[in-house]
């Protein structure tokens, strides 16, 4: 247990077809403010988790920048001595105006979601009228503010945006940022996932390698989920996250805290451990620690390895509740 991913809200300003499809989430009943963990409660869980070995924290959502004054939370988490890396995953819609404040609060890095470089294709993927230039400008602004090198995540879904792989790679080659392609996954129960819609990392590696030769790199750290490749012409790094075609359950170091205070040991989990109730009923830090230890010790999640078996029929928590 080294990584804690914290969802700060279940709301998002995009309606990505693989995460929060508009036909379902336009009428969705979101969590009430009283149901979401306060910044104090989040900081308390993070502090206890840091005492148990967590070194890295990532803020997710939904869209974390929709949470009011999220820089206040960033500042609190940055003050936890054991935390060596504090990052955020965002759609970047509000990042340009908030990057400096986040850096001042102590945020180290951002990962930005961008599934296409073409406006029409991008809008189809996010089902929202936003120009790609808004995201590209936010990447530049975040880098200037000190949040780089930035990682850009692109989910590839067959029939939707595989024609954007080479244009995306071409745009980010030589920028110093790291573009990472993610296999389309069956997260939650609302995105109508089919195996036939998956473009595998192997296919993407071949596609990019035929255009610009690439070779493998060693992982940055044990348990890194992205396979690292580098352009042989010196134009930088590109990554591939292969949860479907090459599961990495055995090396997972991630614990996840949902927006309403449930603790999950897997992105594909069907049930979590409630921390909100004990947090609000005067549980001691030792008691919270015991809950975290018991949850981690009992983990046997292997959904990505078992995909297609009996686990496939089990309802899973939606990604908007526990982040990507």
**pLDDT (tens digit, 9 = 90+) per residue, 51-100?**
999 999 999 999 999 999 999 999 999 999 999 999 999 999 999 999 99
Collect all residues with Cβ–Cβ distance below 8 Å to 275 and sequence separation of at least 6. 45, 257, 261, 262, 263, 288, 291, 292
**5 vs 188, more confident:** 5
- For residue 249, the model assigns a pLDDT of 74
DSSP string for residues in 31-85: PPGGGSPPHHHHHHHHHHHHHTT--EEEEESS-GGGSTTHHHHHHHHHT-TT--E
The gap from C-alpha 57 to its chain's centroid, in whole angstroms, comes to: 11
Cα–Cα distance measured from residue 120 to residue 125, given in angstroms and rounded to the nearest whole number: 9
- For residue 245, the model assigns a pLDDT of 75
Residue 310 has pLDDT above 50, yes or no: no
Least reliable range by pLDDT among 29-33, 93-97, 187-191, 229-233: 187-191
Residue 304 has pLDDT above 70, yes or no: no
Residue 235 has pLDDT above 80, yes or no: yes
The answer to whether the beta carbons of residues 70 and 59 sit under 8 Å apart is: yes
CATH of the domain at 154: 3.20.20.70
- For residue 73, the model assigns a pLDDT of 98
Cα–Cα distance measured from residue 254 to residue 147, given in angstroms and rounded to the nearest whole number: 22
The answer to whether the beta carbons of residues 324 and 184 sit under 8 Å apart is: no
- For residue 189, the model assigns a pLDDT of 63
Least reliable range by pLDDT among 167-176, 252-261, 295-304: 295-304
* Cα 290–Cα 10–Cα 97 angle in degrees, nearest 5: 110
Q: 152: which strand partners?
A: 112, 179
- For residue 305, the model assigns a pLDDT of 59
Cα–Cα distance measured from residue 279 to residue 281, given in angstroms and rounded to the nearest whole number: 6
Cα–Cα distance measured from residue 19 to residue 187, given in angstroms and rounded to the nearest whole number: 7
Least reliable range by pLDDT among 130-134, 218-222, 317-321: 317-321
**248 vs 51, more confident:** 51
3-state SS, residue 286: helix
Q: Which helix (H) or strand (E) holds 209?
A: helix 201-211
How sure is the predictor about 194, in pLDDT bands with cuts at 50, 70 and 90? confident
Q: 241: which strand partners?
A: 182, 226
- For residue 324, the model assigns a pLDDT of 63
How sure is the predictor about 311, in pLDDT bands with cuts at 50, 70 and 90? very low
Share of the chain above pLDDT 70, in %: 90
Q: Shortest CA distance to 63 belongs to which of 141, 136, 169, 135? A: 135
Question: What global pTM score does this model have?
Answer: 0.92
Tokens of 75: 């500042």
Place of tokens 């998956």: 198
Return the half-sphere exposure (C-beta side, CA atoms, 13 A cut-off) of residue 318.
Answer: 24
Rounded mean pLDDT, 211-229 = 90
Task: Give how many domains the chain has, as a whole number.
Answer: 1
Cα–Cα distance measured from residue 119 to residue 122, given in angstroms and rounded to the nearest whole number: 5
Residue 320 has pLDDT above 70, yes or no: no
Q: How many CB atoms lie within 10 A of CB 199?
A: 22
Rounded mean pLDDT, 24-34 = 86
Structural domain of 19: 3-322
- For residue 7, the model assigns a pLDDT of 96
Place of tokens 């965002």: 90
- For residue 270, the model assigns a pLDDT of 77
Collect all residues with Cβ–Cβ distance below 8 Å to 174 and sequence separation of at least 6. 235, 236
Model confidence over 144-185: pLDDT tens digits? 999 988 999 999 999 889 999 999 999 999 999 999 999 987
């Amino acid at each position: 247990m080294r990584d804690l991913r914290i969802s700060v809200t279940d709301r998002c300003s995009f309606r990505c077809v693989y995460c929060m499809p508009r036909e379902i989430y336009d009428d969705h009943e979101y969590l009430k403010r009283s149901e979401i963990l306060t910044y104090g409660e989040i900081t308390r869980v993070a502090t206890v988790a840091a005492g148990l070995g967590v070194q890295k924290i990532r803020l997710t959502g939904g869209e974390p920048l929709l949470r009011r004054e999220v820089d206040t939370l960033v500042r609190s988490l940055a003050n936890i001595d054991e935390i060596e890396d504090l990052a955020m995953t965002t759609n970047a819609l509000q990042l340009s105006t908030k990057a400096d404040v986040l850096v001042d609060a102590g945020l180290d890095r951002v990962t930005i979601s961008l599934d296409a470089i073409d406006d029409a294709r991008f809008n189809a993927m996010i089902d929202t009228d936003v120009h790609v230039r808004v995201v590209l400008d936010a990447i530049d602004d975040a880098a200037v503010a000190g949040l780089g090198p930035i990682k850009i995540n692109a989910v590839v879904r067959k029939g939707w945006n595989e024609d954007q792989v080479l244009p995306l790679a071409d745009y980010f080659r030589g920028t110093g940022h790291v573009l990472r392609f993610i296999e389309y996954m069956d997260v939650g129960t609302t995105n109508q996932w089919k195996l036939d819609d998956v473009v595998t990392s192997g296919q993407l590696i071949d596609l990019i390698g035929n255009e610009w030769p690439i070779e493998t790199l060693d992982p940055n750290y044990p348990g890194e989920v992205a396979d690292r490749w580098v352009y042989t012409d010196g134009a930088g790094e590109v990554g591939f996250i292969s949860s479907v075609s090459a599961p990495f359950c055995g090396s997972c170091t991630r614990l996840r805290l949902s927006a309403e205070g449930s603790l999950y040991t897997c992105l594909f989990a069907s049930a979590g451990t409630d921390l909100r109730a004990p947090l609000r009923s005067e549980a001691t830090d030792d008691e919270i620690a015991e809950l975290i230890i018991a949850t981690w010790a009992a983990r046997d999640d292997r959904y990505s390895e078992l995909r297609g078996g009996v686990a496939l029929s089990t309802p899973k928590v939606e990604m908007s509740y526990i982040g990507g």
